[in-house]
Structure 1
Amino acid sequence: MGNLVEIRNLSVSFDGVPVLHSVDLQVAQGEALGLVGESGCGKSVTWLAALGLLPSKATITGSVTLGQTELVNAPRPALENVRGGRIAMIFQDPSSALNPVIQVGRQMTEALKLHRGLRGNAARTEALRLMDLVGIPDAKGRFNLYPHEFSGGQCQRIMIAMALAGEPDLLIADEPTTALDATIQAQILDLLARLREEMRMGLVFISHDLGAVAQVCERVSVMYAGRIVEQGPVAQLFDRPRHPYTRGLFDAIPRLDGPRTLLAPIPGTVPDPYNLPMGCAFSPRCSHAQDFCHKERPELLRQRDGRALACAYPLPEAGAHKTTMEKVTS
Structure 2
Amino acid sequence: MANLVEIRDLRVAFDGVPVLHGIDLDVAPGEALGLVGESGCGKSVTWLAALGLLPAKAHVGGSVVLEHRTLSGAPRAELEAVRGGRIAMIFQDPSSALNPVIRVGRQICEALRLHRGLTGAPAKAEALRLMDMVGIPDARARFDLYPHEFSGGQCQRMMIAMALAGEPDLLIADEPTTALDATIQAQILDLLASLRRETGMALVFISHDLGAVAQVCERVCVMYAGRIVEQGPVGQLFAAPRHPYTRGLFDALPRMDGPRTRLIPIDGTVPDPRALPAGCAFAPRCTRAQAFCQGERPALLPQTDGRQLACAYPVPMPVPTTSPARERVSQ
**Equivalent in the alignment of 1:251:** 251
CA apart distance, 1:151: 0.6
Match of 2:168, as an amino acid?
A: P
The 5 A counterparts of 1:218-257 are: 218-257=218-257
Following superposition, which runs of at least 4 residues in structure 1 exceed 2 angstroms of deviation?
Answer: none
CA offset at residue 278 of structure 1?
1.3
1:279 maps to amino acid: G
Aligned-partner Cα distance in 2 for 1:253–1:180: 19
How far has the Cα of 1:119 moved from its partner?
Answer: 0.5
Q: For residues 47-88 of structure 1, what are the alpha-carbon distances to aligned partners after superposition, in whole Å with 9 as ceiling and x for unaligned?
A: 000000001111111111000111111111110000000000
Structure 1 counterpart of 2:41:
41
Q: Whole-Å Cα distance in 2 between the matches of residues 312 and 147 of structure 1?
A: 50
Following the alignment from structure 1 to structure 2, what is the Cα–Cα distance between the partners of residues 255 and 102?
45
Where do 1:116-127 residues align within 5 Å?
116-127=116-127
Equivalent in the alignment of 2:329? none
Aligned to 1:89: 89
Partner of 1:279: 279
Write out aligned runs for 1:113-192 (5 A): 113-192=113-192
| Gap regions ≥5 residues in structure 2 | 321-331
Q: Determine what percentage of the aligned residue pairs are the same residue.
A: 79
Aligned to 2:300: 300
* 1:305 Cα offset (Å): 1.5
Residue 16 of structure 1: how far off its partner (Å): 1.4
| Matched AA of 2:280 | C
**How many Å separate the matches in 2 of 1:203 and 1:31?**
6
Could you tell me how far 1:304 is from its partner in structure 2?
A: 2.3
RMSD between superposed Cα atoms in Å = 0.9
3-state SS of paired residue (2:4):
strand
Q: Give the superposition deviation at 1:256.
A: 2.2
State the distance in 1 between where 2:257 and 2:278 align.
40
Indicate the SS of the match to 1:221.
strand
Aligned to 2:212: 212
SS of corresponding position for 1:3: coil
2-structure distance, mates of 1:97, 1:292? 46
Structure 2 CA distance for aligned equivalents of residues 149 and 2 of structure 1: 44
1:65 aligns with 2:65: yes
Q: Which amino acid aligns with 1:115?
A: H
Q: How far apart are the structure 1 equivalents of 2:235 and 2:242? A: 13
Determine the structure 2 residue equivalent to 1:288.
288
C-alpha displacement at 1:257, in angstroms? Answer: 0.9
Distance in 2 (CA, whole Å) between partners of 1:28 and 1:277 is 34
**2-side partners of 1:161 and 1:208: how far apart?**
23
Alignment deviations for residues 76-127 of structure 1 (CA, whole Å, 9 cap, x no partner):
1110000000000001110010011111111111111111111010110000
* Deviation for aligned residue 1:253: 0.9
Tell me how far apart the structure 1 counterparts of residues 314 and 158 of structure 2 sit (CA, whole Å).
43
Deviation digits for residues 154-206 of structure 1 (CA, Å, limit 9, x no counterpart): 00000000000000000000000001111111110011001111111010000
1:289-325 deviation digits (Å, cap 9, x = unpaired): 11111111011110122100000000000259xxxxx
Equivalent-residue separation in structure 2 for 1:183 and 1:309 (angstroms): 35
State TM-score, norm by structure 2: 0.96
Aligned to 2:131, the other structure's residue is in SS state helix
Secondary structure of 1:25's aligned partner: strand
Structure 1 equivalent of residue 77 of structure 2 = 77
Give the whole-Å Cα distance in 1 for the aligned partners of 2:4 and 2:39.
27
User: C-alpha separation between the residues in 2 aligned to 1:281 and 1:256?
Assistant: 31
Give SS of 2:11's match: strand
CA distance in 1, matches of 2:241, 2:311: 12
The one-letter code matched in structure 2 to 1:292 is: F
CA distance in 2, matches of 1:267, 1:14: 27
Matches of 2:62 and 2:92, distance apart in 1? 27
CA shift, 1:264, in A, is 1.0
Equivalent residue letter for 2:53: L
Look up the match of 1:13. 13
Please tell me the residue identity of whatever aligns with 1:17.
V
SS at match of 1:144: coil
CA distance in 1, matches of 2:103, 2:258: 49
Residues 235-276 of structure 1: per-residue CA shift (max 9 Å, x gap): 000010000000000111112211001111111110110010
Partner of 1:318: 318
SS in 1 for 2:204: strand
**What's the TM-score, normalizing by structure 1?**
0.96
Aligned pairs, number: 320
Question: What is aligned with 1:327?
Answer: none
